[in-house]
Amino acid sequence: MIRKLKPKEISFIAENYEKLMKKQFEKIGEKPITKKEYKEILKKNFKNSFMFVLEEKVVKGFVWFIREKDEINLEEIFSIEKGRGYGKELMDFLINYAKENKIRRINLDVHFKNKEALRFFKKFGFTERTIELSLDI
């Protein structure tokens, strides 16, 4: 079942985010976001965005997006247990939400070194549209 995230679950999501994403960030050579930082980000954005969890007795995954007119900006999606289809289930939910609400595009950012995520999103038909450049100072 996919349902809205409850405010009291933000800490749980932040804790699991830190555990799961630390390895991802390190793989691509970036500094990971801490549980405390992510918790604050979620709290700050809780009321003005859409946050859902996939639950099967316990929370198995999380998706967070912002709707801007007829587009969705996917901020985060992750499953707590990899390889069980939870990510696919969350993506199917997001795509169905978009179709039902006449959304014309879903946008997301993926680090170019994160090959696993790139493959995952391309399975759903996502294509590269822009290149984002950064300058660290």
Average pLDDT, the chain: 93
pLDDT on residue 40: 97
Residue type at 57 in one-letter notation: K
Question: pLDDT tens across 45-102, in order?
Answer: 999 999 999 999 999 999 999 999 999 999 999 999 888 999 999 999 999 999 999 9
Residues with Cβ within 8 Å of residue 80, at least 6 apart in sequence: 16, 20, 59, 60, 61, 86
Q: Residue 1: pLDDT above 90?
A: yes
Q: Which pLDDT score, from 0 to 100, does residue 6 have?
A: 96
pLDDT class for 111, splitting at 50, 70, 90?
confident
User: For 6-10, what is the mean pLDDT?
Assistant: 96
Domain boundaries, the chain: 2-123
For domain 2-123, the CATH class is alpha beta
* 97-121 mean pLDDT: 93
pLDDT at 38 over 90: yes
Q: What is the Cα–Cα distance from 19 to 118, expressed in whole angstroms?
A: 20
**What pTM value is reported for the model?**
0.89
Q: What is the pLDDT of residue 49?
A: 97
pLDDT at residue 123, as a whole number: 96
Q: Check residue 30 and give its pLDDT.
A: 82
- CB neighbour list of residue 89: distance below 8 Å, 6 or more residues apart: 2, 54, 61
Distance CA 107, CA 7 (A): 25
